[in-house]
Structure 1
């Protein structure tokens, strides 16, 4: 059994207080992706952050698990800044590069208007000004990875899907390293889909600064959490994280539903899957609290990063809500502040 304890719930600033958008409404940060690159936390908001010197992707140094606001740095290369709806980050095996994915859930078959919602990017951890597109194509001046949609759709057997997780795992027995896509939604279109917990894998290698996909896409994990007694609502996958020390994967799943009274219920669960069990197509196990009960997040957990000391840093996308659950330093956040939870294994 894997169990965790909450060390801290906190807030960090993602841009200047009082920042407004084109409608003069306050910009609200909604963090959807995070990775620890060995030196700093790199995160993304799934909403644009206005200003030429700003970006939805930014980095902060971290001291004792706490982001340091005075170190805020935006990643402003055009390919990074102009992508839409980041969903997850990962490190390449070996930790030399960051890989970033958008949701790949929006496309306009008649034009390139939505192609920037379909980007798979890679850049050296210390050179975010030099991103590269994976499987790059260009249409009407828009550079993207939109051609990957067909391969993902073929593997999933559906025209619509949403990518929300990303991880890499090392090749075994001389095999290639693999890139894992965590799939949250599958169906006919964005209004007709089911929440799922599927993982699609594809082998890859690094050629200089380029990430090259070297094989077929295939579904390698598809589990149904509804049969687990402690899971209260239907959930879909929202993040993946490889733990090289313990040789396994953390999977984050979340729910956004109305209960029988019509009240909105939002929360998430953390799961653990060893790579041996992953290879054997076994289901992951729920991460527990210290008492052995189910560990349930009381917010819309969207990303998990493994810090260098083995602790877990979890970020949230609270949409427009400013209220905070218990154990935070305040009852509400400011629009420019993002909540986080710091966990340790017990």
Structure 2
């Protein structure tokens, strides 16, 4: 399978010149995106400060799939605003609800100060006012999906991990299976390895719109990008996306060496039929038009399926401003802008 870039661009995610409480510039770091059939919903893994703003926002797209910046609107529901470090979005397998996960990469044993990094949220399509926390702590007034965190820790098997992928696929029972992609794992945030693991469990959504797990989370898939000769960088999983039109999964991996700038960041795109996924087979590495491995110029973090053959890719370059070939008129983006690419998949 090959992917052909249709369009590139940048999206202004908040007003230029925005600063945080310490006076430092705020950077657009889009790490999550999903298409709900009408608009793109995007999420930043860093807070976007200010009344009337949040790190989750949406934009309409034109017929070609390009975002319309003038339609940008923020999701300001308290639950959505309180969660920190969004890493991936998904639709439930029936397409009726939106799911949003944070990274689950930090927690405090002493207090609840880091609970905001541990959230899985769900809301009905088009109705974020009805957002709920999935698998919350049973104690009153304790924020976060802390019961889910215990399930994740048991399934992943190490004290430190980072969730960067989320997808829901049809299942043989209930409403389907919910998949979490693991990018990092280890003993501590400064003692880890990059991985491409998927843990999952079956689920259902009840009449109140709450997501209920119906069995235990467990490892359901893993692969090693380093076993592919065409992969020249150490990668970790950065996004999962279910393609309901072709009944397959897209996996995205990214690499980064923050000390060396744009030349040392990027990513790869992979695909896998649901049958091959169930059998644990290796994914196929997507190629470009010339039959070479497709290598993203920027750190690919968010992926949305628009239709049968078009994909929207969002990049999170952290504080790297270089645009490369995304914009032929400029060398650097503004801090408020997130680069993106529109792809068409071809046989």
TM-score by length of 2: 0.95
Q: How far off is 1:310 after superposition?
A: 3.0
Q: How far off is 1:271 after superposition?
A: 0.3
Name the counterpart of 1:249: 249
Q: How far off is 1:262 after superposition?
A: 10
Name the counterpart of 2:307: 308
Name the counterpart of 1:215: 215
Shifted more, 20-29 versus 155-164: the winner is 20-29
Runs of 5+ unmatched residues, structure 2: none
Shifted more, 316-325 versus 230-239: the winner is 316-325
Name the counterpart of 2:80: 80
Q: How far off is 1:82 after superposition?
A: 1.1
Runs of 5+ unmatched residues, structure 1: none
Name the counterpart of 1:5: 4
| 1:86-105 map, 5 Å | 86-105=86-105
Name the counterpart of 1:15: 14
User: What is the alpha-carbon distance in structure 2 between the residues aligned to residue 125 and residue 263 of structure 1?
Assistant: 36
User: What is the alpha-carbon distance in structure 2 between the residues aligned to residue 156 and residue 78 of structure 1?
Assistant: 30
Q: How far off is 1:10 after superposition?
A: 0.3
Q: Per the alignment, in what secondary structure is the counterpart of residue 181 of structure 1?
A: strand
Q: How far off is 1:6 after superposition?
A: 0.6
User: What is the alpha-carbon distance in structure 1 between the residues aligned to residue 174 and residue 49 of structure 2?
Assistant: 43
User: What is the alpha-carbon distance in structure 2 between the residues aligned to residue 94 and residue 13 of structure 1?
Assistant: 31
Shifted more, 93-102 versus 308-317: the winner is 308-317
Q: Per the alignment, in what secondary structure is the counterpart of residue 264 of structure 2?
A: strand
User: What is the alpha-carbon distance in structure 1 between the residues aligned to residue 23 and residue 227 of structure 2?
Assistant: 46
User: What is the alpha-carbon distance in structure 1 between the residues aligned to residue 164 and residue 139 of structure 2?
Assistant: 25
* Alpha-carbon displacement from aligned partner over 1:169-221 (angstroms, at most 9, x marks no partner): 0013x465000000001111111111100000110001021111111111011
Name the counterpart of 2:235: 235
The alpha-carbon distance between structure 1 residues 131 and 166, as it changes in their structure 2 partners (threshold 3 A), is same
User: What is the alpha-carbon distance in structure 2 between the residues aligned to residue 175 and residue 205 of structure 1?
Assistant: 5
Name the counterpart of 1:59: 58
| 1:141-160 map, 5 Å | 141-160=141-160
CA contact (8 A) 1:159 1:187 kept: yes
Q: Give the number of equivalent residue pairs.
A: 343
Name the counterpart of 1:201: 200
* Alpha-carbon displacement from aligned partner over 1:66-113 (angstroms, at most 9, x marks no partner): 111111111001110110100000000121110000011100011111
The alpha-carbon distance between structure 1 residues 242 and 263, as it changes in their structure 2 partners (threshold 3 A), is closer
Shifted more, 307-316 versus 35-44: the winner is 307-316
CA RMSD of aligned residues (A): 1.8
Q: How far off is 1:58 after superposition?
A: 0.2
1:70 aligns with 2:70: yes
User: What is the alpha-carbon distance in structure 2 between the residues aligned to residue 78 and residue 176 of structure 1?
Assistant: 28
CA contact (8 A) 2:29 2:44 kept: yes
Q: How far off is 1:327 after superposition?
A: 4.0
CA contact (8 A) 1:104 1:149 kept: yes
The alpha-carbon distance between structure 1 residues 257 and 336, as it changes in their structure 2 partners (threshold 3 A), is closer
CA contact (8 A) 2:262 2:322 kept: no
CA contact (8 A) 1:166 1:241 kept: yes
Name the counterpart of 2:190: 191
| 1:273-292 map, 5 Å | 273-292=272-291
Q: Per the alignment, in what secondary structure is the counterpart of residue 305 of structure 1?
A: strand
CA contact (8 A) 1:116 1:142 kept: no
The alpha-carbon distance between structure 1 residues 262 and 25, as it changes in their structure 2 partners (threshold 3 A), is closer
Name the counterpart of 1:121: 121
